[in-house]
Copies of this chain bind each other. A is one copy, B any other.
């Protein structure tokens, strides 16, 4: 039984990937509506060899649509998500608008697919850094339990959208040419630089929103608020795959070989962990890949307890971090 789909934010970085993922995964798409802001209306996009014209999103957009994939920012989701639901749609929302709503399931299909059943019209797609973190942590969490996660991220420009990816390129060209570096989208020069994630910061705790998301979303997805999480979110000069350096404190003694096996057996995870050849996951190589790549699985240097483990993880921010996870959720319906 094919379903009719709408993609809200079809022309954005994630929207474009959603179309590719729907196509590549042979999702049974009946009618397809591509929705965006009035600015993008009239553009054409190709899906399975057929041209579609992008329409301006409106309250009438969702008639005869069964699944709406939203990726146009939190305020659009808040305004139009409930409209779509009242038109009979199931909404898979890629924004942060509904993630912490207790009525809304927050789902990584490999981890908590059963949560989808509880939906009341809206299912939230987690934040990219959280998805990539949990794809690597969950197989180990199931083996030994996890008391604490300390994670430092190396996040790509794509998390700030297609315009940020373009600006990174423009910045790099300007920097290399010695001309003025544009910072219209990004708050600082990202090309050949690194900066603390620019989401708004809680002045009390000193943690930014991206970091708070990693904590709260992890607790919700795992249904376990006892994991202490200490995140540091950082943007680096890469286009579309996030890396994360992860330290785990396990509840029991861990074994590196068993963890590698559990990771390799987990759907959506690939292990690339070649100590002899010094070959581990890199954002450039993982860009465009569905799987989350895990390497550098090792016990904490000179730790006596055997309960501290470290990992280096890379996932495509636009795929498993966004579009792919959203389409996987739709497939569960």
| A interface with B by C-beta (< 8 Å) | 150, 152, 154, 168-169, 172-173, 176, 187-189, 192-196, 198, 200-203, 205-208, 211-212, 215, 228-232, 234, 236-239, 243, 245, 247, 256, 275-276, 278, 280, 282-284, 295-303, 308, 310, 312, 314
| A236: chain B residues within 8 A (beta carbon) | 154, 194, 236-237
What is the count of identical protomers in the complex? 2
- Expressed in whole angstroms, the Cα–Cα distance for A188 and B212 within the complex equals 33
Nearest CB in chain B to that of A245: its residue: B152
Nearest CB in chain B to that of A189: its residue: B284
Given contacts A152-B152, A215-B302, A238 and B193 within 8 Å (CB-CB): yes
Given contacts A172-B176, A176-B169, A282-B194, A301 and B238 within 8 Å (CB-CB): no
Do A196 and B280 touch across chains, with their CB atoms under 8 A apart? yes
- Expressed in whole angstroms, the Cα–Cα distance for A240 and B207 within the complex equals 27
| A152: chain B residues within 8 A (beta carbon) | 152, 232, 245
Do B283 and A205 touch across chains, with their CB atoms under 8 A apart? no
Given contacts A243-B194, A310-B230, A301 and B207 within 8 Å (CB-CB): yes
| A200: chain B residues within 8 A (beta carbon) | 278
Nearest CB in chain B to that of A187: its residue: B278
| Top-5 shortest CB links A-B | A206-B298, A152-B245, A152-B152, A237-B237, A193-B284
Nearest CB in chain B to that of A284: its residue: B193
* 15 intermolecular pairs with C-beta atoms under 8 Å apart: A176-B176, A192-B239, A195-B280, A196-B295, A196-B296, A202-B275, A203-B275, A205-B298, A206-B256, A207-B298, A212-B301, A228-B301, A230-B308, A234-B312, A237-B238
